[in-house]
Structures are given as structure tokens and as C-alpha cells.
Structure 1
Amino acid sequence: MDKKSARLRRAKKTRARIAEQKVARLCIHRSTQHIYAQVIAADGHTVVASSSTVQADVKSEISNGSNKSAAAVVGQKVAEKAKAAGVTKVAFDRSGFKYHGRVQQLAESARENGLEF
């Protein structure tokens, strides 16, 4: 089993547990150059809020899209947009990535800015 298929297997198990909870989820994706986050409604079809390091408003605040400070900015932006849309309680879907580094920084930043998970 290679690294990607192991990550996707972990993500599948997590998403199955989150689906049972019937709550919105903060889903992230991490690549080598960027980090992406979106809040998906409890129905699993509607994106309520999203943010990433490729968006112009985030790019203007960061120098590099692949570090912890960039992840913190993305977490802040997605939390603000979710609160504006009326979502405060979410489940954290880390997509099988280890809760460490950029993923951890994004989660902590989202918590500090009003999301509960």
C-alpha cells in the first residue's frame, strides 16, 4: 500500500464517522505548495465557505503558500466566512493527513477565530 492510498483509506473512515454526526465539516487539503480549506454543509453537497492560499485576498497577506503562517491565515479566513454564513460548529476532516504542522496550525487558527470542533 503506497502513501496516498493509505491516506485516502484513513480519510474514508473519518468521513464515514462525520457523516453519522450530521454536522458541517471543515475539510482541508494540503499539497506541497498550497493549503485549501472548505466548510461543507451537513448534507454533504453544499460548500458554505472556502479559503486557500491561491486566492488573491490570502496571497496578498502571505509570502509563501506552503508554511504554517499561510495555514494560519487560511484558517482565519475560512472561520470568518463560515461565521458570516451562520455556521459555528463543525467537525474537522483532515483528509487523512497527520494532525501536525500546517494542518494543526490551520485547525488552531480556525478555533481561535470562532469555529467549534
Structure 2
Amino acid sequence: ARRMSDLEDLLLQMEDRNEGLQAASRTFEKSTQILELALAERAEACDAAWGEARAQRAHYEAQLVNVRNVEAARAAAAAADELQSHQALQRMQQVAVVKASEEAKLAKRLESS
């Protein structure tokens, strides 16, 4: 009888431990679910941040293209101004050569007469 009582006590202890283990298992499963949800939320936040970063990069790249286009336009305008100045200088030199030539011809005529 005593042995039966010891076995019953042992069985009760094992059932208590089993219930404790099952409770711990349920707690672990709930914690795992909570962690999985948190991880999924973080992943969504990271995806959103990544998308925003890509959009900002595209915006900055477009601004850089605009800046480069403005710089190229300014350089082209400066080159056009320089070319116009050079052409104006050439015309003035041509006019001066023509005038000098005409003056030399007039001076020869005056000397001849």
C-alpha cells in the first residue's frame, strides 16, 4: 500500500511537471508569435524606408542631372560669347586692314599726283 501511495505521489508529481511544461510550451509559442509579428512589422518598416531612400536617391540624381544641364548650358553660353567676341575682333581687324589698304592707296595717289 505504501508503495502504491509512493507511485501515486510520483504520478501526481509527474502530472504537475507535465502541466508546467505544457504551460511553459504555450508561453513559448505565444512569445514566438509575438516576436514573429514584431519581426514582420520591422520588415515592413525597413521595406518602406528602403523605398523612401530609393525615391530620394532618384530625386537627387534628377537634381544632379539638372545641375549638370545648367552647367553645360552656362559653358555653352560662355563659349558662344567667346566665339562672338572673337568674330567681332576678326571683323574689326579686317576693317582696319581694309582701311589701312585704302589709306595706303590714297597716299600713293597723292604722291603720284
Instruction: Give the alignment's TM-score, normalised by structure 2.
Output: 0.19
Bigger relative contact order, structure 1 or 2 (CA pairs below 8 A, ≥6 apart)? 1
Q: Which has the higher strand share?
A: 1
Write 1 or 2 for the structure with the bigger share of helix.
Answer: 2
> Rg larger in 1 or in 2?
2
